[in-house]
Structures are given as structure tokens and as C-alpha cells.
């Protein structure tokens, strides 16, 4: 796939990949691609942050390398590890004389026993990859500082082996649900884009792209109901993913509309918290009203 030379072209490429980006997001992604800058996508839950990186990788035939962040993730899990088990086996297979030499040590800590983790893989792959650093807000401060280092020079030094550097950096997409504020230093490295809930007309379009074959009227009704749900004070407001699930569920059951009764029976596709369910049940009439 040729690289797009305009925001419009990128929008079209993403659309062909099943992803609908509005002008703001498409512009941000276009600049990130063109200037080789990491991009930080923040936004509500289920609004297409992760999917954006996946579709970009697929559209440009790049390898998607995903670093899923979580509480307690450390540099070993992100960079590389030594395969201890295989190192031990190798050492045991050596005779006493071989094991004493420098050569054996070099081999034990050589490329054969190095297990690549996402960041090393991405530095090695360079611009043949899209590096998705997903849910970076879940990692802790130290890990963020370490990421910052890697993102500044795309260079990783492995004491036993040497330095690995990307000649052309991978496209880096970071996502965050904003469960905590990220550091300014990290943000400064990145372009930034906030993805909010799409306006209803676009959300209908997204549903039709993701669940081809469902009736547009059903999609409209569900989108309208979901946007009312988002106005309630829910602990877990539904994202686009939930809208799609709800439409699919209703379509599967052969429903063409959304009465309060049908909505109640299928709420599990869209509301996934007990307290939220109670609140929603009190408002079913207005949520499903077509006015
Ligand atoms: N703009 C869009 N175009 C096409 N599909 C979309 C779009 N936005 C969301 N989706 C759909 O919603 C699903 C959820 O999106 P995704 O997993 O990327 O959300 P997220 O923002 O990463 O959510 P989370 O915060 O839970 O990680 C996708 O699999 C995709 O089907
Ligand atoms: Mg995600």
C-alpha cells in the first residue's frame, strides 16, 4: 500500500480497513505517520483507540507489535528476557572443560537464548512495524519513564550482546483510558488526540461497517438508545463496541425494533455493572422511546 499524501487518502484507506476516523483523528494519524512521531490516543472506553493501531498495521502491511501494559509490568517483560531453562540445558550438555571457557559464556548469553519482547521486536522491525503500547495508564511511573527513554532514541542496549537501534522508527501508537494522568514528559514526546463518542450518524455508520447485514433502522434505534444511556450517570458507560454488540444481539434474535421489554431482555450486551443495570431499568421507557 502506498503511503497517503493527504488526510483524505488516509481516511479512505482506514475506511477500506473497516475503520471510520473523523477528520481530527485522521489528521493526527496522518501527521504521526508522515513525521514519524508517536501518537497518544486517549478516550472513553471502547471508542476505537486500540483498533486504530490494528487497522493502520493491516492497511500498510506492517507487523502489529503489541505491548499490553498492566500494573506491575517491568522492563524485562517489555524488552527481552533470557531463556533460563534452555540456557541451563545447554550448560549441562557442555563438558566441564568447555563450560569453563569464555566462548561458552558468550554462547549462553548470545542471540540463541535471547527472548525478544515487544519493545526489542519493534526496534528491530523499525518502520516495518506498528508498535501498539496499549493502556499505558495502567503501568506505573517508573515504567513510563523507561518508555520515554526508549521512545526518544529507539535504541536498546543489551550488555551481553550490544546495542540495537532502529534506523527508521516504527509507528508508535499509545493508548490510555485516562485512569491516571500521564507525565508531561511522555506527552511531550507524542502527538495527542482525544477520541470521544462519535456523533449518532457516525456511530450508525460504524455499526453498519462492523455488523454488515443488520438493518439500518435497527442500528439507528440502538444508537439513539445508547446515547441516552451515556447521559445517565453510569459507572461504565457503553462504548461503540457495546453498541455493535447490542445491535448484533437484537439482529440475531430477529428483532427489528427496540421496545422496553426487548431492551430489558438484552441489556447484558450493553450494560455490564449491577448498579448500572438497576439505574437503567428505571429509565427503560425514555431510553427506548423513539422521540
Ligand atoms: N471508528 C471506528 N470505526 C470502526 N470500528 C470502530 C470504531 N470505533 C470503535 N469501533 C469498534 O469498536 C470496537 C472496540 O474498539 P477498541 O477495542 O479499539 O476500543 P478502545 O478504545 O481500545 O477501548 P478500551 O478502552 O476498552 O481498550 C472495535 O473492535 C471496533 O469494532
Ligand atoms: Mg483498547
- The pLDDT tens digits of the residues spanning 238-274 come to 999 999 999 999 999 999 999 999 999 999 999 999 9
Rounded to the nearest angstrom, the distance between the alpha carbon of 64 and the centre of ligand 1 is 16
Q: Is the pLDDT at 95 greater than 80, yes or no?
A: no
Q: Whose CA is nearest to atom 1 of ligand 1?
A: 20
Q: What span, in angstroms and rounded, lies between the C-alpha atoms of 65 and 57? A: 9
Q: Is the pLDDT at 199 greater than 90, yes or no?
A: yes
DSSP secondary structure string for all residues of 190-232:
SEEEEE-PPPHHHHHHHHHHHSTTS-HHHHHHHHHHHHHHHHS
3-state secondary structure of 158: strand
- pLDDT for position 1: 65
Closest CA to 135 of 69, 38, 51, 66: 69
Q: Is the pLDDT at 18 greater than 60, yes or no?
A: yes
Q: What residues are neighbours of ligand 2 (ion), with CB under 5 Å?
A: 50
Q: What span, in angstroms and rounded, lies between the C-alpha atoms of 107 and 109? A: 5
Band (pLDDT 50/70/90 cuts) for residue 35 is very high
**Average per-residue pLDDT for the chain:** 93
Q: Using a 6 Å CB cutoff, which residues line ligand 1?
A: 18-20, 43, 45-51, 175, 177, 206, 209-210, 239-241, 244
Tell me the three cell numbers of residue 271: 450494560
3-state secondary structure of 61: coil
Probe residue for ligand 1, chosen from 51, 138, 219 as the CB with the greatest number of ligand atoms within 8 Å: 51
Ligand nearest to the CA of 66: 2
Q: Whose CA is nearest to atom 11 of ligand 1?
A: 241
Rounded to the nearest angstrom, the distance between the alpha carbon of 47 and the centre of ligand 1 is 5
The reported pTM is 0.92
- The pLDDT tens digits of the residues spanning 109-162 come to 988 999 999 999 999 999 999 999 999 999 999 999 999 989 988 999 888 888
Amino acid at each position: 500500500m502506498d503511503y497517503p499524501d493527504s488526510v483524505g487518502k488516509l481516511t479512505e484507506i482506514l475506511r477500506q480497513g473497516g475503520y471510520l476516523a473523523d477528520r481530527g483523528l485522521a489528521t493526527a494519524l496522518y501527521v504521526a505517520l508522515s513525521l514519524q512521531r508517536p501518537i497518544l490516543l486517549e478516550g472513553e472506553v471502547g471508542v476505537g483507540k486500540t483498533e486504530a493501531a490494528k487497522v493502520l498495521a493491516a492497511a500498510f502491511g506492517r507487523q502489529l507489535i503489541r505491548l499490553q501494559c498492566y500494573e506491575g509490568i517491568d522492563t524485562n517483560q517489555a524488552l527481552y528476557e533470557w531463556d533460563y531453562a534452555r540456557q541451563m540445558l545447554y550448560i549441562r550438555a557442555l563438558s566441564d572443560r568447555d563450560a569453563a571457557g569464555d566462548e561458552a559464556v558468550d554462547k549462553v548469553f548470545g542471540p540463541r537464548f535471547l527472548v525478544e519482547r515487544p519493545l526489542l521486536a519493534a526496534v528491530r522491525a523499525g518502520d516495518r512495524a506498528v508498535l501498539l503500547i496499549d493502556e499505558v495508564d495502567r503501568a506505573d511511573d517508573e515504567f513510563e519513564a523507561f518508555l520515554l527513554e526508549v521512545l526518544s532514541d529507539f535504541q536498546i542496549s543489551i550488555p551481553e550482546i550490544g546495542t540495537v537501534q532502529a534506523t527508521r522508527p516504527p509507528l508508535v501508537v499509545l493508548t490510555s483510558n485516562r485512569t491516571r494522568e500521564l507525565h508531561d514528559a511522555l506527552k511531550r514526546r507524542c502527538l495527542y488526540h482525544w477520541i470521544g463518542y462519535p456523533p449518532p450518524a457516525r456511530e450508525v455508520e460504524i455499526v453498519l461497517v462492523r455488523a454488515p447485514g443488520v438493518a439500518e433502522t435497527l442500528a439507528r434505534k440502538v444508537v439513539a438508545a445508547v446515547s441516552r444511556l451515556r447521559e445517565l450517570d453510569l459507572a461504565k458507560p457503553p462504548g461503540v463496541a457495546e453498541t455493535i454488540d447490542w445491535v448484533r444481539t437484537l439482529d440475531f434474535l430477529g428483532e427489528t425494533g427496540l421496545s422496553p421489554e426487548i431492551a430489558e431482555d438484552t441489556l447484558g450486551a450493553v450494560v455490564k455493572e449491577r448498579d448500572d443495570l438497576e439505574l437503567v431499568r428505571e429509565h427503560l421507557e425514555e431510553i427506548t422511546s423513539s422521540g
